[in-house]
Chain A
Amino acid sequence: MSSNETSSDKPEEDKQKKTDSSSEGAGSKPVDTPAGDDVGEEEEEMSEGMEGEEMDEEEDPNIPPSGLQSSDPPAPPRMSQEVPMCRRRRRKIKVKSIALGSYDEGGEEEDDEEEGEGEDEDEEETLELVAAPEIIAEEVYEAMEDLTYAQEYNEYCGEYEDGEYIPCLKPGDEEEGGRRSIDKTDADGDDDWDYYYAPCDPAIDGDEGDDDEDEDEEDDDATRIARELEAAERAIAEAQAEEEGEMFEEEEEDEEEEDEDEEDEEEDIFPQEDDELKTLFMGKMEQEPEVETLANIEGVIGLTLTPETKQFFEIDEEEMFQTGHHVHKWLSWKKVKLHIFMNEDRSEFFPYYDTIKYYPDVTMLLGSDPRKETGHDYFICLTVEARNNVLNPPKKKKVALDLKQQQEQIWNEMASKAPRKWRGYGSELEVNDENVIDSRPLLSVQVYRYRQHFGSECKFEDAPKDSPSFKASFKSEPVEQYPCIQTVEVDRAVQVMPQKKETSTQTGFCFKRNKMIQYNTQSITENNVANIMGSKKIAKFFKKVTPRLDKVLQQNEMVDLLHDDYRNLKCKRGHEMEFSTESMLLQEYQTYADFKHSKGRTVTTMMFHPVLEDVVVMATAVDLTWERRIDAHSKSLMEPNYVLFWDLRDSAHPQIMLDAPADVFSVNVNPSDPHLVCGGCANGQIAFWDLGRTYFELRAKIQDRGNLSAADAKTKRPSFLDKLKDSAESLACPLIPIAGLSNLDMSHKRAVSSVSWIPPHIEIGKNGMVYDNLIGRSVQFMSVAGDGTLRLWDIRPQKKPGQAEEDDEDLNKDVIKVNKWAHLENNQWKYHFRYSMEDNSGGPMFATTIRICEKRPEGKDPKEEVPAIQKSSIDDDSNENPEALDDPKPVAPKPKRVGALVQNLSALTTIFIGTEAGAIGLVDWLRNKEGVISPDFGNKIITNVYLSTFHHGAITSITKSPFYPELLLVVGGGTISIWKETCPYPIFCSGGFDVFPWCAIWSNSRPAVFYVGNREGSVSIWDLMDRSNGPVMTQPITNVRITGIGIPKIAASASKNQYLAVTDSDGVVLVLLLPRFYARPLPNEDHVVRELMNREDSRMTAWVKEMEERSDKIQSVNYSWQQSRVTKTPEETNREEIEQEGRLNEEYQHFVEFEMSIIGDLKEGEPELPTMDTQISDEFDAMILDAQRLEAEEEGEEEDDDSPDDDYDDYNAFDDDDDDDYDQFRYK
């Protein structure tokens, strides 16, 4: 039904009409007359309906006394649609529906009145009667909707509180639509029509509970309210039935009053029922304590003041009662109290003293009460709330009742109220106008189809053009053309839109100005600070705070919570993690390579100049294997060979080049005469150079540079010419010719693998004796080669008698003498001394490296030591001082010289030799096995103190620790080991690596660190403090092999940086900057390393000792065994055995006899065995006892002797005899 939408604008008109009719009274009648018949009919029908209603009421007895059943709650719309039977009694239903509506008692009552009074009703009342149902119906409809919703909700949620939806029953303003539809149904008697409309107004149909209560029962819950109301209504109706007349009159009077009352007119505009509701509500509210009456306010007390009191409080009575309203006056609370104290029980306030005593404010309110609402002239507010209420009376007090209760009350009250009569204001005419009345009987058209055609296929076919069906066209023509069709109903809708407003404002213009605010920091004056600092409070504060802070601060000190452990890690090659911090990596510092002379050649030796720290000496050789070398021999002969001197400050050019006859495999600079250089060549020859003047130039240059840098480089900036000169000089690299070359026949048979100068304080005689070196210079050097020999070379001329003194003077004083080394030239140079090195089994030792033991008396520096020895020897030879100096040749030592034979420097006669086979030998050429130095052994005394094969490949490097001279770092065969001089076993040895260590050197700054150059071109750093199972770090340096490693002492750089020099097989010397971490020893490091070494040493010695002991034991055992084998005499050893055997045999015999006897017995009694006579059992018992005893004895004997024979015999016996019997006997 569309009335909901369409009628939104109509109510106002309707109301207008109503007011008109109500105000005009009779004037409305003419309007009504045209529809008068209808109304009459309506009334009649209505009265009929009422009869029906009454009948319903009469039927009540059939219904349970609760009345709930009989009530017909509004049914949901669908229900009404389903039930067409209501059509018949449309009118009645309608009324009933009205009666059922929200204020339906009214309807009912009206009906009753009509019933009762019949013709007495005047037109107006009838109209009213009509009008009220309209409104009610509308509301009912709404209520129905709500209830329907509620029911659905109920179905959905399973519970429904009846109070909940009642508030939705607001007075609707859609009477028009509702009434229209209702009237439509009312007006026509035609069933079809009704039926047609029925769904449109579900409320109506749903209300015909009289006819179909059973349906309504279904909706009990949802419509409980309605039913309750109806029940109430019924009760009330009965109660009021007697007073009908009076009620009616009263009603009338009321209405008339309302009509007259202009003020109420507005309210009258509203539907009257609504009005009633409203008044009910208002009444409800009015019943609540209202502020207007002072008596209702709690805490307001009426008083009658005596004149004295008025005077006391200075109350002007006239003023107070000037106006008719309350006049307020403030009283001081104290004054009131004072009044009480003064007058005690005479005071008007005395009765309320208890309340006044606790009055929270300082002023109290006193007011005049001219209307005597409190029954007195004055009132006083005893509480602040009361005061506030009086001063600001709340307009409306909210009804505090809960909604349900409230509703119930309202409903109850409503139920007790008599409704007003319906007054028609002309709306019913409109209703009638809209009624559709059939002017003729409706046509009925029957369209049918044979049942047999049901579901059959349709046959469509093309119709011919002329076919009439084709021509038929359906034009839409305006309805006006058909006069028979009347426009009865037009749906129009008006929608209320919010008003649109367009406004604009403009703010006033003002100039912009830059402004700023400056803040001043708040501070406390010194005095205050002092006060605060001195206060107990702050002391307390500190006491509380400091422990917490201390804790946190200590935490921070101890643990860096947020330390990023992985900060130094970076991802490299996928998932491999490596330390990448600069500080932990080797950085390339400088590269030294000469493209002409060293590029492409492998660096065989690199050594740092013993005096000039910035100078590195580098020997190169063709990087070829032995076979290839032989192949390329002719070619390599043609190539010049040089030993290069580099200045670490000048990476561009070598400083000095030494011309070499062949590839130099090893080179060494004389530590005492640093201009002398010896070298070993690939062909086994020994080369010797004297740098002479060039050396001094170089030294001067370096020293100058040092001075320059030390003074100030800026002030002494070299001029351009100087620079040019310098560069020219540096470019002109002096080439030093070879000064001496050994006789090829006297030379090594294989490439010289190592040369080493004899320390300056000793010299070695022809016979291998060691003497103090009186000149304090190194004049001899050793060389080793793969031919198994060690040769000692002396650079001094082979003295012929009477010639020595001059030569020596030459050597000492005139170093720059031309052709000083003539005696070394022309194949004249022969070795001074030669040893054939043999290993323990007599085979040759093919030495690869050599390291001379420079052990000295402890606590003395070599530099101090040399002069001391010199001095002592000088002292010894005091009378022969010059001669001693002049006679360094120990070929025929004088007796005194013999006295100078170094007895205490025992280790000086030893050298460490690494061999190609991977053995480390401590070779002594003076000591015999017992360690006694006997000078008489002569040339053949060389012997190995120990020779230990530990490495599985050629030893490539032996280096001494600068911190612990007894520690040797040995690399060979892919492993690294640390040796102690005194111990024939390595005290530490590494495992194998994925890299091949080639050379190693101890760090000269940290005792626990050594650097290892690997064949693969990487450098490993070992830190024994960190770990001893592998390198701390391995860093690739070059693409080629690393052949040597060393630590340059770049002291002049004055920086704390540590450097590491590495040579590779491409002729390059790389100087790397070491991480600073390795520059400074860790605290306690020295101690730790010493401890470690000692521990390892003791471990190794213990192990070795144990091994030795074990082997000794084995040997001794073997020996003793052999001895015993041989010496064991039968009389001693065998006697016991024989005795034992005899005893055993005896026992065995006993046993066998015993057993045999048992077995014999058993065999005799065998057939009777199954019966098991008592006799036999007795025998058995005895036997068993015997056997047990014997067994026990046996066991005891077995324990004692533990002779296997017994068991064996036992077994035999067991085997021999009858098994079953034996078993039986034995185990019974």
Chain B
Amino acid sequence: MLQSNEVEEAIKRILSHKGVVGLVVINHEGIPIKSTMENALSVQYAAQVTQLLDKSRSMIKELDSNNDLTFIRLRTKKHEVLVCPEKDYAMIVIQNPTES
């Protein structure tokens, strides 16, 4: 399918960035739809990030109801978790920025 190809290409492009460890696409229920990591890990990420998303989104909404969450960057010791939420899906990218 055309769209599918586009999606695949987008994923490839993201993965081609330096230090990108993995990518998970989850739906609004927190179920991983597409993942480049092993299943258990992606399920973990999906579950945890969904909670975080809900919480942070509600926080933003509470502060300003006209505002909305568009991106979360979590910097950790080992890597950086980038979460890009949209209405129905969210994309999680794990990047190791110091990797060279």
CB <8 Å contact, A542 and B95:
no
Is B64 part of the binding interface, using a Cβ–Cβ cutoff of 8 Å?
no
Is B18 part of the binding interface, using a Cβ–Cβ cutoff of 8 Å?
yes
* Dominant SS among interface residues on chain A: helix
CB <8 Å contact, B1 and A553:
no
Most buried by B among A522, A544, A549: A549
CB <8 Å contact, A549 and B31:
no
How many Å lie between the Cα of A867 and that of B69 in the bound state?
A: 77
B60: which A residues are within 8 A, CB to CB? none
CB <8 Å contact, B7 and A553:
no
* In the complex with contacts A522-B29, A553-B93, A556-B95, A546-B34 CB distance below 8 A: no
Is A552 part of the binding interface, using a Cβ–Cβ cutoff of 8 Å?
yes
Is A560 part of the binding interface, using a Cβ–Cβ cutoff of 8 Å?
yes
* In the complex with contacts A524-B33, A533-B34, A554-B17, A541-B43 CB distance below 8 A: no
Partner of A541, one of B47, B71, B89, B97: B89
Is B3 part of the binding interface, using a Cβ–Cβ cutoff of 8 Å?
yes
Partner of B88, one of A533, A537, A550: A537
CB <8 Å contact, B82 and A532:
no
* In the complex with contacts A524-B31, A533-B34, A552-B3 CB distance below 8 A: no
Is A904 part of the binding interface, using a Cβ–Cβ cutoff of 8 Å?
no
Q: Which B residues from 72 to 100 make CB contacts under 8 A with A?
A: 73, 75, 80, 82, 84, 86, 88-89, 91, 93, 95, 97-98
Is A538 part of the binding interface, using a Cβ–Cβ cutoff of 8 Å?
yes
A801: which B residues are within 8 A, CB to CB? none
Is B70 part of the binding interface, using a Cβ–Cβ cutoff of 8 Å?
yes
Q: Which B residues from 21 to 47 make CB contacts under 8 A with A?
A: 25, 27, 29-34, 43, 47
* In the complex with contacts A550-B14, A556-B80, A562-B75, A545-B91 CB distance below 8 A: yes
A543: which B residues are within 8 A, CB to CB? 6, 10
- Nearest B residue to A524, CB-CB: B31
A550: which B residues are within 8 A, CB to CB? 13-14, 17
Is B67 part of the binding interface, using a Cβ–Cβ cutoff of 8 Å?
no
CB <8 Å contact, A546 and B13:
yes
How many Å lie between the Cα of A548 and that of B73 in the bound state?
A: 12
CB <8 Å contact, B71 and A539:
no
How many Å lie between the Cα of A562 and that of B77 in the bound state?
A: 10
B10: which A residues are within 8 A, CB to CB? 542-543, 546
* Dominant SS among interface residues on chain B: mixed
* In the complex with contacts A537-B88, A549-B93, A560-B97, A532-B17 CB distance below 8 A: no
* In the complex with contacts A544-B86, A549-B93, A529-B3 CB distance below 8 A: no
- Nearest B residue to A559, CB-CB: B97
Q: How far is the CB of B4 from chain A (nearest CB, A)?
A: 5
CB <8 Å contact, B86 and A541:
yes
Is A534 part of the binding interface, using a Cβ–Cβ cutoff of 8 Å?
yes
How many Å lie between the Cα of A758 and that of B65 in the bound state?
A: 87
CB <8 Å contact, A553 and B86:
no
Q: Which A residues from 670 to 727 make CB contacts under 8 A with B?
A: none
Q: How far is the CB of A990 from chain B (nearest CB, A)?
A: 33
CB <8 Å contact, A553 and B14:
yes
Partner of A542, one of B7, B20, B32, B73: B7
A536: which B residues are within 8 A, CB to CB? 3
How many Å lie between the Cα of A538 and that of B11 in the bound state?
A: 12
A549: which B residues are within 8 A, CB to CB? 14, 82, 84, 91, 93
CB <8 Å contact, B17 and A533:
no
How many Å lie between the Cα of A621 and that of B11 in the bound state?
A: 71
CB <8 Å contact, B3 and A534:
yes
* In the complex with contacts A534-B1, A539-B7, A552-B71, A545-B86 CB distance below 8 A: yes
How many Å lie between the Cα of A535 and that of B34 in the bound state?
A: 13
How many Å lie between the Cα of A554 and that of B7 in the bound state?
A: 20
How many Å lie between the Cα of A561 and that of B7 in the bound state?
A: 29
- Nearest A residue to B73, CB-CB: A552
How many Å lie between the Cα of A521 and that of B70 in the bound state?
A: 27
CB <8 Å contact, B6 and A539:
yes
How many Å lie between the Cα of A557 and that of B82 in the bound state?
A: 13
* In the complex with contacts A541-B89, A553-B20, A529-B33 CB distance below 8 A: yes
How many Å lie between the Cα of A550 and that of B91 in the bound state?
A: 12
How many Å lie between the Cα of A535 and that of B70 in the bound state?
A: 22
Is A405 part of the binding interface, using a Cβ–Cβ cutoff of 8 Å?
no
B20: which A residues are within 8 A, CB to CB? 553
CB <8 Å contact, B88 and A534:
no
B93: which A residues are within 8 A, CB to CB? 549, 553
Q: Which A residues from 1165 to 1208 make CB contacts under 8 A with B?
A: none
* In the complex with contacts A534-B1, A538-B7, A545-B91, A529-B17 CB distance below 8 A: no
Is A523 part of the binding interface, using a Cβ–Cβ cutoff of 8 Å?
yes
Q: How far is the CB of B84 from chain A (nearest CB, A)?
A: 5
How many Å lie between the Cα of A523 and that of B84 in the bound state?
A: 21
CB <8 Å contact, A557 and B3:
no
How many Å lie between the Cα of A523 and that of B17 in the bound state?
A: 28
6 A-B pairs, CB-CB below 8 angstroms? Answer: A533-B4, A533-B34, A541-B86, A542-B7, A552-B73, A553-B20
Q: Which are the 9 A-B pairs with shortest beta-carbon distances? A: A539-B3, A556-B97, A553-B17, A534-B1, A542-B10, A545-B84, A541-B89, A557-B18, A534-B4
Please list the residues of chain B having a beta carbon within 8 angstroms of any beta carbon in chain A: 1, 3-4, 6-7, 10-11, 13-14, 17-20, 25, 27, 29-34, 43, 47, 70-71, 73, 75, 80, 82, 84, 86, 88-89, 91, 93, 95, 97-98
A538-B25, A549-B82 are known; give 19 further A-B pairs, CB within 8 A. A522-B29, A523-B43, A524-B33, A529-B34, A533-B7, A533-B33, A533-B34, A534-B3, A534-B4, A538-B33, A541-B88, A541-B91, A544-B86, A546-B14, A548-B71, A549-B91, A552-B82, A553-B93, A553-B95
